[in-house]
Amino acid sequence: MAISKRDSPRRIFFPWETEGGIRRFLRLAQVGPGLLALALFGFVWVAAARERHAAGERQTVLVLGEVKRAVVRYVVEHEGRCPESLDLLKPYLKETPRDGWGRPIRIVCKPTVSDADYIIMSDGPDGLPGGLDRIEY
């Protein structure tokens, strides 16, 4: 008499179907809590890095707004001339402006890439002048 597939003993098992179940497969008693803690730490690390970057961008946009107001006041009081450096804006600013990453703000008068009279910019998190992550106003 032939044994049908249904009556034959199974030879292929998923790891959680064998003796000990999923705890044995994942070794939760020994490794699981460590893996969980490591995954949680990684998630918090990535979230904190994103927030630091976003906070730097927000701070930089605020500083660029302050510098723009100072530049506009300078231009009005100096017959349309653009300030060549931040030193000329000291009477209009409380302190030397820095971006969210602690780097100085730059002013470019008569830029070749724009029709504007000036561009106020931060070099961004990497600090490279004109880099891809720069912030302009």
Q: What is the 3-state secondary structure (H, E, C) of 11-47?
A: CCCCHHHCCCHHHHHHCCCCCHHHHHHHHHHHHHHHH
Is 26 part of any domain? Answer: yes
pLDDT of residue 68: 92
Cα separation of 47 and 50, whole Å?
5
pLDDT of residue 70: 93
Is 27 part of any domain? Answer: yes
pLDDT of residue 34: 80
Is 3 part of any domain? Answer: no
Provide the whole-model pTM.
0.67
Which residues in 3-136 belong to E strands, given as ranges? 106-109, 118-122, 135-136
pLDDT of residue 40: 94
Residues of the chain with pLDDT under 50: none
Is 11 part of any domain? Answer: no
At 44, which CATH number?
A: 3.30.700.10
Q: What is the DSSP letter of 122?
A: E
